[in-house]
Structure 1
Amino acid sequence: QGPGHSHWSYEDREHWGVDYPDCMGTMQSPININMAKTIFSPELQPIQLSGYSLPANEKLKLRNNGHTGVAGIRCLSQGVIPPCWPCHHWSPFGPCPCHYCGVSVLQVGPRENPYYQEILEHLYKIQREGEEVLVPGFNIAGLLPANLKLYFHYNGSLTTPPCYQTVKWTVFNQTMLLSHDQMSMLVTSLRNDDGEPLQNNYRLVQDLHRRRVLASFQTTLFSAKRLPSGDVLAVLFGVLFAVTALAFLLYIYKHRSQNARLDSPTKSKVIYTAATTENTG
C-alpha cells in the first residue's frame, strides 16, 4: 500500500501529529490564500507543461486508497509542473525529496468537462478501498486551466499523513468547471473500508506561519478587474451620481456668481446730464 498508508482518518485529524510529527509542523497545507497579502514575483513565468499528453495505450492506474481516489502518474523532472491527482508521489525508497504539484480549484459549471470525465466515468469501478482500475491515457493538461500564467506559489506539505513538508504548491487562479452531475459523481462514488461514502475527506486550513505566498501577477489590479457584476453596477452608479452632483454644484456656483455681479454696489453706472447752451457774441 506504500509508505504513509495507515488507518488514520479525517475524523481524527487533530491527533495526526501524535504518529506523524510533521503534521504539527509550520509549513502545512492547505492554506487560505489572501490575494491582498500575496507578493508579486516577476520571476514566476508562465507554466510550461511537459509529458501531459498521453496516448490511449499508456494506462493510468486509478485506485481507491480508503481516503480518496489516486491516479498513478509518473513524476517528471524539476522545472515543470508534473501531473498529479492528487499530490501524492512515492519512490521505492520512501517519499520523493521534493514534490511539484499543480492544483486547480473545482467549481460547478453549466456543462460537462470532457477531461475530468475521462477519470470520473471509472470511479464506479473502484468504489471499495483497495480496488483499482486502468484508465486509458488522455491529455492530462485538460485537468488544468487554459490560462497557466496566473497562479500562486508557496512551500507546503502533503495534506494527509505523513504530512511531509516537501511540497512546492502551485495553485492556479482560474477555476475548473464541472457539471452538477460530475460534481455529484465525484462526491458520492467512492467509499471507505466501512462502506460509507468518502465525504468530508479534506483537511482544514492550516496556519501560514509567516510563509510567503508568491503570485505570478499583480493581484490588486486583477482583483479590481474581477469585481462581481453587482459591485460593478454599484461603482458605475456611484460615479454617475458623483458626476451629476458635481455638475449641479458648478451650475449653482456659476448662477450665484452672475447674480452677485449684477447686484454689486461698485458696478459702473451711466449718468445723464442736461445739455447747456452758451451764447457767443
Structure 2
Amino acid sequence: MDSFGPFILLILMFFQWTAAPTAGEVTWTYSGLVGQSEWSEYFPECGGTSQSPVDVTTTKTRYNPDLKAVTPLGYSQHGNRPFSLHNNGHTVVIELPEWMGLRGLPWLFTAVQLHLHWGSGGPSHGGSEHTINGQSADAELHVVHYNSELYPNMSAAMTQRDGLAVLGILIVTGEETNPGFDNILNYLSRIRHADQKAFIPAFDVQSLLPKDLGRYYRYNGSLTTPPCYQSVIWTLFRERVQISKAQLLKMETILYSSKSDEPDRMLLQDNYRTTQPLNHRVVFTSFSAESGKELSSGEVTAIVVGVMCGCVGLAVIIRFIVKTIRFFKLLHLETVVVNSSTSSWDVLHNNRPAPMPRLKEPEKEKEKKQDVALNSTSAAEKKEEPSPSPQSEP
C-alpha cells in the first residue's frame, strides 16, 4: 500500500499540471480570482517595467519642442456604414473603419477601435486610468491605433515596441450634455450583457476628442489590460472632455460583465487599472511649463479674485485721475474768469496814458492876473460904499 502513495501523488500532480489554464484561456477580471494583482502570474508582461497607466506628476515632466500637434485623419468622414458596438465583458468597444488614422507621430497609424473606462461612485469618485498629480477623472476614453507603416495588421503590431499608439482622453462631469458621447451611451441598452453586439449609426469620432490637440503628455507604456504588451506610444491630452452627470450614470449602471444566461448578474463597473510605477521613464510634454501648469481649484479662485481686485483698483485709480484733471481744469477756468473781470487799465497797463505835467505860468502873467483880481475887488468895494447925503443950508 505504501508503494501506491507516491504513484497516486504523481498522478494528481499530472492532472493538476495538464488542467492548468494557459494565458489565452484565463478569464481575467479587475477584481476577484484573477484580478489585477494576479495578472502577472498568467500574463508575464503585466509585471514589466514599462506598464500603463501612470500618474503624471507635472513638476517632473520634460518639455519637448519637437512634439507636434496630433492630427486625426478621417475621424469625421464616417460614411454610411454603421459602427459595431460590443460588450466584451470588460468594457464597451466600437470598431473603427480602416480609413481613420493618425498623424503627428513618427509613423502613420491606422485606427482600430475605441473603448471606455469608468468607476462606480458617480462624479468625483474616480474611474479614469491615468491620473494627473494623483487626481483621477470620472472616466477615460481610449482610441487605439496600430503602426500601419511598419506592420500589416493589429495582431502583428501589438507585440512590437513601436507597434501601437493610443489617445487617452480624461472625462469629467458637469451640467451640460455632451452630444458626441450620446452617439455611444444612447445604445448601451442594446448590449447590456457580455458578448452582445449591435450596430449603431456612424458618427463623427472627432466629436469625442478635446478641442486642443496640441497640448498633451507623451510616454512609452503598455496596454492597460492583459496581455499588457509594452508596445504603446501614449498621448494623454491635457484638456479634459466634459459629459453630464446623467451620461456618467448611464455609463456606470447599464452594462453587465456577466452573460445573459448567467443567473448572477454583475454590473460592469470600476473597469480601470491602478497606476503603475514609471521606473525611470520620462513623461514628455508638448507645451512649456508656463503654459502647461496644472492649477488647483483654489489657485484658480485666487487668480480670479486677484484679477477682479486688480480691475477694481485700476478703475479707482482711473476715476481719481479723471477727477483730478477735472479739478485743475475748473481751477484754471475760474482763474481766467477772475482776471477778465479786472479793469482794462490793470489788464492793459502798458497802454495807459501817462499824466500830463502842469506848466508853470510866467511871473508877469501871474502879476497881471493878481492886479486884475485886486482891481476887481476894489471896484466892488467902491460900489458898496453909500454916497454922502447933501447938507441943508442955515
TM-score category by the smaller chain? 0.7 to 0.9
Residue in 1 that maps onto 2:251: 186
Q: Secondary structure at the match of 2:73?
A: coil
Identical aligned residues as a percent: 31
Quote the Cα distance in structure 2 between the aligned partners of 1:233 and 1:18. 51
Q: 139-148 or 188-197: which moved more?
A: 188-197
How far residue 54 of structure 1 moved from its aligned partner, in angstroms, is 3.2
Quote the Cα distance in structure 2 between the aligned partners of 1:143 and 1:5. 34
| Unaligned 5+ runs, structure 2 | 1-22, 116-141, 147-152, 259-263, 311-394
The normalised TM-score by structure 1 is 0.76
1:90-135 deviation line (CA, Å, top 9, x unaligned): 9475563411111110000221101111011111111100001112
- The residue correspondences of 1:183-222 to structure 2 (distance < 5 A) are 183-193=248-258, 194-222=264-292
Letter in 2 for 1:57: N
**Aligned match for 2:303, one of 222, 226, 232:** 232
Q: Secondary structure at the match of 2:38?
A: helix
How far residue 237 of structure 1 moved from its aligned partner, in angstroms, is 10
Taking a change above 3 Å as real, the CA distance of residues 196 and 119 of structure 1, as seen in their structure-2 partners, is: same
**Aligned match for 1:141, one of 194, 206, 213:** 206
Q: Secondary structure at the match of 1:137?
A: coil
**Aligned match for 1:44, one of 60, 63, 67:** 67
Quote the Cα distance in structure 2 between the aligned partners of 1:74 and 1:102. 16
How far residue 81 of structure 1 moved from its aligned partner, in angstroms, is 7.7
Taking a change above 3 Å as real, the CA distance of residues 89 and 237 of structure 1, as seen in their structure-2 partners, is: closer
- The residue correspondences of 1:26-41 to structure 2 (distance < 5 A) are 26-41=49-64
Taking a change above 3 Å as real, the CA distance of residues 67 and 95 of structure 1, as seen in their structure-2 partners, is: farther
- The residue correspondences of 1:1-281 to structure 2 (distance < 5 A) are 6-11=26-31, 12-74=35-97, 76=101, 78-79=107-108, 82=111, 84-86=113-115, 87=142, 91=153, 93=155, 96=158, 97=160, 98-193=163-258, 194-223=264-293, 228-232=299-303
The normalised TM-score by structure 2 is 0.55
Of the two structures, which has the highest relative contact order with CA contacts closer than 8 Å and spacing of 6 or more? 1
Taking a change above 3 Å as real, the CA distance of residues 4 and 109 of structure 1, as seen in their structure-2 partners, is: farther
Letter in 2 for 1:187: E
Question: Is 1:155–1:167's contact at 8 Å kept on the other side of the alignment?
Answer: yes
Quote the Cα distance in structure 2 between the aligned partners of 1:219 and 1:205. 23
Q: 145-154 or 69-78: which moved more?
A: 69-78
Quote the Cα distance in structure 2 between the aligned partners of 1:51 and 1:134. 20
How far residue 186 of structure 1 moved from its aligned partner, in angstroms, is 0.8
Letter in 2 for 1:21: P
How far residue 221 of structure 1 moved from its aligned partner, in angstroms, is 4.0
Higher Cα Rg, which structure: 2
Q: Secondary structure at the match of 2:172?
A: strand
1:37-59 deviation line (CA, Å, top 9, x unaligned): 11100111111110201335222
Question: Is 1:48–1:81's contact at 8 Å kept on the other side of the alignment?
Answer: no
How far residue 74 of structure 1 moved from its aligned partner, in angstroms, is 4.0
| Unaligned 5+ runs, structure 1 | 240-281
Question: Is 1:22–1:164's contact at 8 Å kept on the other side of the alignment?
Answer: yes
Quote the Cα distance in structure 1 between the aligned partners of 2:255 and 2:157. 25
Quote the Cα distance in structure 1 between the aligned partners of 2:108 and 2:296. 30
1:26-81 deviation line (CA, Å, top 9, x unaligned): 11000001111111001111111102013352221110001111111145364358
**What do you get for the CA RMSD once the two structures are aligned?**
2.8
